[in-house]
Structure 1
Amino acid sequence: MANFSKKFQGDVFGRMWPAARAYRPQVFNYHMNKILAEAPDVHEYLSRYHNLKWMRCMFDTSIKCDYIKNNLAESFNGWIKDYKDLPPDELADTLRELVMKLHEKRRKIGMKLKGKIIPAIIQQIHNRTRGLKHLKVGKSGVASCEVRDTSKYNLRHVVKIDQSECTCLEWQHTGKPCEHALAFLLDRRNPRWEDYVHDYFSLEKFRATYAGEIEPLTDRSQWPHVQFPFDMEAPLDKKRGVGRPRKNRYKSFLKGGDGGPKKKKEPKQLGSKNRCKRCHILGHRQSTCPLNGPKPRYM
């Protein structure tokens, strides 16, 4: 979106996010048709520079992942920000050590957790069960129903609990019950949410992810010495810039970076915000109020 907003600007291009987040192809096509009607060049631009699958509706439902942002890359860059200026060999060894410690920490967490599904996922489901009064459930059987959304033009979806499916396709993509399925399951007494979450979020899978150990290494002085047939020298044609090397990444276009919208500075407020409790005038406190008079002098 940062590169897209540099070339295409306007209110209609705000539909790119709803199009990318849509689970159903019909919703994606609805928003994209609005965008293409405004600017036909968008199709050529996306086909040339973004020909990969960036919309949820095209994801494979077997991967149980619907991330469409690069938060993982940004988190990793922030994690290694203080080590980017190290030499390549020290950088690789430092990253190996960080990952080794992280795996051990996650391995200990996995051994302490109890239950079938990761507790954080169960907490997410509990949070989503609130505020579902706008969904009206019409049961057709023990494990199937139709759910009408009164807040979105009475849209209706079909839920099949025994197949872990909903026509909104969110359940199939994420592996976690959507709000339509939760509205149906809330009618049951003490539903076991673990039975309706995919094994992708199970403790067994979590522990298996961090079961392998990363081999520890000795310090650099004990590494084997290798004789290279040539000497690697620093490039001479590239001059180092003046000042301290930059560690923080450049801001994107949408966050006020190069050519992006600048954040307006709020005008500075003159004077104090304190209000006197005696005269109720801004600018001073009760202890310094002029109505107090001269302070008594103690001998």
Structure 2
Amino acid sequence: MRKVIAIDGTHLYGKYEGMLLSAVARDTENHIYPIAFFVVDKKNDASWTFFFEKLKSIAVDGPNLCFISDRHKSIANGITKAYDPAQHGYCMRHLGKNLRVNHHCREHFYLFYNAAKAYSPKEFSYHFVEFKNYCPEAAFFFEHKLGFEKWSKAYFFDNRCDVMTTNIAESVNAMLIDEREYPVASIFNSIAKRFGEIFKERRAYVLKCKDKKFVPTTEKILRDNMSEGNFFYVKNISGDERQYTVFGSGCTAKVDLLERSCSCRKFDLVKIPCDGLFAIEAR
């Protein structure tokens, strides 16, 4: 399981109503990995705090653990009480919806997306300044009320693993739309059965690939990076074993293997570290 957990809640439509809370992550194959489900009467501080306290027995607290959710105050309060070192970020899509509805920046919210997904502070600053020129009130809110570290990839305290939204949790909610009308016991029985069948299929698939060094998704990424990297030329101009100049695809970039970002012209080159190996990917 990747150490990034998407948190969400959805309404139940049975006789007693209530809410179904869920914690969902992704595995190394980018498959949805459901962790926990919980039924409560409503979403409030007591419900979310109890949910996170129970979740700690499965997802151990630590500074490398990250939660992604919407801006519901009870979620933030529950994470603060139950998970102290863990990080908490906001869903980019929910913030974008708030931007369009409350700040009326529908035409320019793509600039906010560009800033949120930027890898380096330099790239982030470029997009955010442009966004600020068009939507100054919204930019003030994102900078001073929320803080860059809550929603931007460049300033987040730890690795979000490119999980910028709670879409994986909402996909599970959509999958369980029929179960939301069942009695509580039937909800959990159906969840256990459906995901048990899915895990059985995944396990059979993985056993076929057990002799490979990487899972299929990672192997494909590495193979594609190596193919694209064959068209790049690398020179060690400074003599430093960790610093290189990369030429190719109409751009020039200076890459430091021990830094997260690199300086370049025309467009960015991003290095992808993988077990001590470094591939250069154009984006």
What TM-score, normalized to structure 1? 0.47
Structure of higher CA gyration radius: 1
Higher strand share: 2
